[in-house]
């Protein structure tokens, strides 16, 4: 269930014994992908110590299993390529160049990609993703890339951000697709949907 406006997000709690601790978005996504393709009821609570989702959640220190925890439900992202392959992520999917060349699209569950605050208003528990599309010339692209550190690249007439629960990105030609920093293939059409509350993250 997505967080509702005015409601407290998450609750105090403990990380169950044996629950995984993810050191990156890719680690968390791998756990999620494994849990979704196995018949066993794997624990849905994970610890998180680093990555773009962790940065968005305000985590600044390495995970300490002895410290008090707050359990927050976060959404996940499911991405399907032309070849029928399905990939899961917890932070983002990027279509095209990660250096934001013209026509690049980012499907953001988290706000950050590395040190760049790509989608300043993205919330990983609202049941939606922020779909960021860029149509910038070289000069504006360079300026925007620098301003993304502080999230001040928007508003901009040639950068659109739309919130969606699902949808499809259709391109003129296949482009490289990366999910949580991992290259998962090339595709001309990228279908995506949000899995609301897919995993509970234990944060310090």
- Residue 70: the pLDDT is 78
- Residue 85: the pLDDT is 96
- Residue 21: the pLDDT is 85
pTM flag (> 0.85)? no
- Residue 174: the pLDDT is 93
**How far is 76 from 175, CA to CA, in rounded Å?**
22
- Residue 170: the pLDDT is 93
Q: Where are the alpha helices (DSSP H) in 18-125?
A: 25-36, 52-56
User: Could you state, in order of their start, the residue ranges of all structural domains in the chain?
Assistant: 11-75+198-203, 78-196
Q: Which class is 78-196 in CATH?
A: mainly beta
* Residue 74 host element (H or E): strand 69-80
Nearest in space to 118 (alpha carbons), one of 142, 154, 143: 154
Please give the DSSP secondary-structure letter assigned to residue 144.
H
Which residues in the chain land under pLDDT 70? 1-10, 34-43, 60-68, 98-102, 136-158, 204
First CA to last CA distance, the chain: 22
- Residue 127: the pLDDT is 94
Residue 44 near residue 199 (C-beta atoms within 8 A): yes
Q: Where are the alpha helices (DSSP H) in the chain?
A: 25-36, 52-56, 138-147
């Amino acid at each position: 269930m997505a967080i509702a406006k005015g409601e407290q997000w998450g609750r105090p709690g403990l990380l169950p014994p044996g629950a995984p601790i993810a050191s990156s978005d890719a680690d968390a996504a791998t756990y999620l992908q494994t849990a979704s393709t196995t018949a066993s009821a794997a624990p849905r609570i994970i610890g998180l110590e680093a990555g773009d989702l962790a940065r968005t959640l305000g985590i600044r220190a390495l995970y300490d299993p002895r410290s008090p925890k707050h359990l927050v439900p976060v959404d996940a992202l499911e991405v399907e390529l032309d070849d029928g392959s399905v990939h899961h992520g917890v932070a983002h999917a990027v279509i095209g160049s990660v250096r934001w060349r013209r026509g690049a699209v980012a499907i953001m569950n988290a706000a950050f990609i590395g040190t760049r605050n790509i989608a300043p208003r993205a919330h990983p528990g609202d049941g939606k993703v922020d779909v960021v599309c860029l149509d910038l010339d070289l000069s504006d692209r360079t300026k925007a890339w620098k301003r993304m550190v502080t999230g001040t690249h928007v508003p901009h007439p040639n950068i659109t951000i739309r919130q969606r629960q699902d949808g499809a990105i259709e391109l003129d030609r296949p482009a490289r697709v990366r999910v949580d920093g991992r290259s998962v293939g090339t595709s001309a059409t990228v279908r995506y949907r949000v899995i609301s509350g897919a995993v509970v993250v234990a944060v310090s």
